[in-house]
Amino acid sequence: MRRSDAPHAPKTGGPAVPDPTPISLALAQHQGLARLGVLMQESQRRMALVAPALPGAMTRFVKPGPIDEEGWTLLAANAAVAAKLRQLQPRLEARLQEQGLQPSKVRIKVQQG
């Protein structure tokens, strides 16, 4: 783009740009986004419950993923972490069941990108 084709900066005194809405407020104000916010919080809660069952520093290679009516997904940083999580899957599901969380099924996926 040539310099002369670039859009000009808005003149002062024009319409004011509103302050950005904090994400928490935006989530609360929109029904679909509010549901997403609740699901994100629930996923974080589940991660906090299962983290103590993960060996050593493995927690930093595991992220909480989506939750739906069928279960919850843990995202592994690589295939080796996913394999270890699959070994631990019964223990992780038991921890969720002990807390009365349903569904307690844990899915494990390797995080892409």
Query: pLDDT (tens digit, 9 = 90+) per residue, 43-70?
Result: 999 999 999 999 988 999 999 999 999 9
In which band, very low, low, confident or very high, does the pLDDT at 12 lie, cut at 50, 70 and 90? low
| Helix axis angle, 79-98 to 31-50, nearest 10° | 100
Residues whose CB falls within 8 Å of the CB of residue 88, separated by 6 or more in sequence, listed in order: 53, 54
Per the rule left: phi > 0, alpha: psi between -120 and 50, beta: everything else, 12 is beta
% of the chain surpassing 90 pLDDT: 58
Mean pLDDT of 20-28: 74
Mean pLDDT of 88-110: 94
Q: pTM here?
A: 0.70
Ranked by mean pLDDT, the top range of 13-17, 32-36, 42-46, 102-106 is 42-46
The per-type count for the chain, helices as H runs and strands as E runs, is 3, 3
Instruction: Check residue 23 and give its pLDDT.
Output: 72
Instruction: Check residue 11 and give its pLDDT.
Output: 56
Return the structure tokens found at 103: 């569904």
| Spatial separation of the C-alpha atoms in residues 101 and 67, rounded to whole Å | 12
8 A C-beta contact, residue 110 and residue 82: yes
Return the structure tokens found at 19: 């302050």
